[in-house]
Amino acid sequence: MDRRTFLRKAGLGSVAVASAPGVLGALAMPAWADDEDEHRFRFVTVSSAGTIDSVTHLLIMNGNGRFGGSGIEGFGTWAHVNGADPNPATNLLASGRWRTLSLVSFTSIGTYAEVLEAGVLEARIFLRRLRPTRGSFEGTLKVVCNIGPGGLSTGQAEGVTVTIDGAPVGPFAPLSPALGLTIFIPPIGD
């Protein structure tokens, strides 16, 4: 029995075809995409906590999310590596996922071309360590975005700063020159 015959006999062919436009439409747009008062953020960065006992502490981090009147939602992944060790088999110190807990503040410097925004976001985050052992902790995430072509500068280094509560190293601060990208997307109406 081929797939088409099986689906016809099961009565699923017409259900699948009828529901496809709705499913595809739902997948094409995030549930919060129609909320016109919310900002978005995205970043992929490398930050440093300096060198301690010949270990160069680097934090490779990515994330995205949204924030506005209803709070903040954000998530991503991270890897804490020894930048002084060129061997990928031995340079990973820890890795995991993160998500936002609460919005501390957001200061907008201005928008450029109506679709990009410079500013400073600060949020409390929850970090889940997956390697080398399971664990969790909280901290503060600060995302700084400057838009040079738009003449928009916060006066701070572009990048991400992560302070982990009670950690023996840190904070992880942007490299100079910056390595990575950050961007805010302002609320965009129709």
The least confident of 1-10, 38-47, 96-105 is 1-10
Q: In terms of domains, do 56 and 109 share one? A: yes
The identity of residue 4, as a single letter, is R
- Does 128 fall in a domain? yes
Q: In terms of domains, do 129 and 167 share one? A: yes
Mean pLDDT of the chain: 86
Q: Residue 142 in contact with residue 104, Cβ under 8 Å? A: no
- Does 190 fall in a domain? no
Q: Which residue is it, tokens 């201005």?
A: 110
Q: In terms of domains, do 84 and 3 share one? A: no
- What's the confidence (pLDDT) of residue 190? 58
Residue 188: which pLDDT band, with cuts at 50, 70 and 90? confident
- What's the confidence (pLDDT) of residue 35? 59
Q: Residue 61 in contact with residue 88, Cβ under 8 Å? A: no
Q: In terms of domains, do 26 and 113 share one? A: no
Query: What average pLDDT does the segment 118-124 reach?
Result: 98
Separation CA 98–CA 57 (nearest Å): 18
Q: In terms of domains, do 48 and 8 share one? A: no
Query: What average pLDDT does the segment 120-133 reach?
Result: 98
Q: In terms of domains, do 99 and 147 share one? A: yes
- What's the confidence (pLDDT) of residue 3? 38
Q: In terms of domains, do 95 and 180 share one? A: yes
Domains held by the chain: number: 2
Could you list the residue range(s) of the whole structural domain that residue 140 is in?
Answer: 37-185
Q: In terms of domains, do 3 and 51 share one? A: no
Tens of pLDDT, residues 152-170:
999 999 999 999 999 999 9
- Does 5 fall in a domain? yes
Separation CA 51–CA 36 (nearest Å): 44
Q: In terms of domains, do 78 and 116 share one? A: yes
Q: In terms of domains, do 15 and 62 share one? A: no
